[in-house]
Amino acid sequence: MAKKDMKAIEAISSAAFNHRVEEVRALLEQGVDPNSKLHGFSLLYSAVLGGGDETEVVQMLLDAGANPDGGPKGDEEVLQHAACVFPNVLRVLLDAGADLHRVNDEGRSALWYAIHHEQKECEAILREYGLDYTERELNEHEKGRRLKNQQKIVTNRIRSTRTKNAEQLAWLMSEALNVDLPKHVAKLLERGAVPNFREEDGLPSPLVWAADKGYLDVVRAAIAAGTDVDEQIYYEKSAHQGTALLFAARAGHLKIVKALVEAGADVNAPAIGQDGEGPPLLFAEKHGHKEVCDYLRPLTKEA
């Protein structure tokens, strides 16, 4: 980009942020692209961020062709920022076609921010334009935020430990499992964690957990670590009891089913749960996993 063009973008970005209306107008008339960005931020975002609830610069940029969303999904939070405190700007953006359903990297929409910041007017505007959000969904977002924080804590704990004690590694592995960190579970198995470790009855072993969730790398690591592939486990969350093969078949994870069978898993191992009672094939059939059924059927003894 030519220095002249960069200077023009710097000038209009500053003018938009500080709500210098005539300067923005003049630079647009000189041909500055209304979708220009400075340091990754669009002119529209600068105008919303710095202009308070004044709409003139925002409207001017939109009229000149600025993207009302600011940029690609995950790029900026123009609507979310407006929803925190600026009802007039929010309405202008919505009238220009801003995406009501757009969410940021944390899965939060503009309505989430309006409710979170207790901006009743912004909340009412968003609902007026058709966006609805239940309390359950808000709770799910909050749960997701807490999970990310927990994952950071567990990750730091794992990275800082130098222990070679199998049981201590197993407890760390259990923490990683509880906050859904499959890569760390696999690495801890490779470091020597007790492979069949479970904190208490009703919880899955790493192998059963990975088979149920579809984490092939963890399954392979557990098998390599010497896990008993035919251990019968009652997994309270799914209300089923059986081997890892049951959980993989029930969830339709064909690659994991094959890995378990190749590791010697008993295809006729009995399983029981809310779906019925029988071998893993039965549970694959109940859930309509054709490829898994086609693979297991020739291997399974008829009752």
Task: Report the predicted TM-score, pTM, of the whole model to 2 decimal places.
Answer: 0.55
> What digits encode the pLDDT tens for the residues 216-234?
999 999 999 999 999 998 8
Report the percent of the chain where pLDDT is more than 90.
Answer: 51
Domain 3-133 matches domain 200-303 at the CATH topology level? yes
Q: What is the pLDDT of residue 114?
A: 86
- For 66, half-sphere exposure in the C-beta direction (CA atoms, 13 angstrom radius) is 30
Q: What is the pLDDT of residue 52?
A: 78
Q: What is the pLDDT of residue 33?
A: 94
User: Residue ranges per domain, the chain?
Assistant: 3-133, 138-194, 200-303
CATH fourth-level superfamily of 200-303: Ankyrin repeat-containing domain (1.25.40.20)
Q: What is the pLDDT of residue 1?
A: 47
Residue 193 has pLDDT above 70, yes or no: yes
Report the percent of the chain where pLDDT is more than 70.
Answer: 91
Pick the closest to residue 217 from 160, 259, 173 (CA basis): 259
Residue 133 has pLDDT above 90, yes or no: no
Cα four-point dihedral sign 89, 91, 93, 98: positive
CATH fourth-level superfamily of 3-133: Ankyrin repeat-containing domain (1.25.40.20)
Residue 137 has pLDDT above 70, yes or no: no
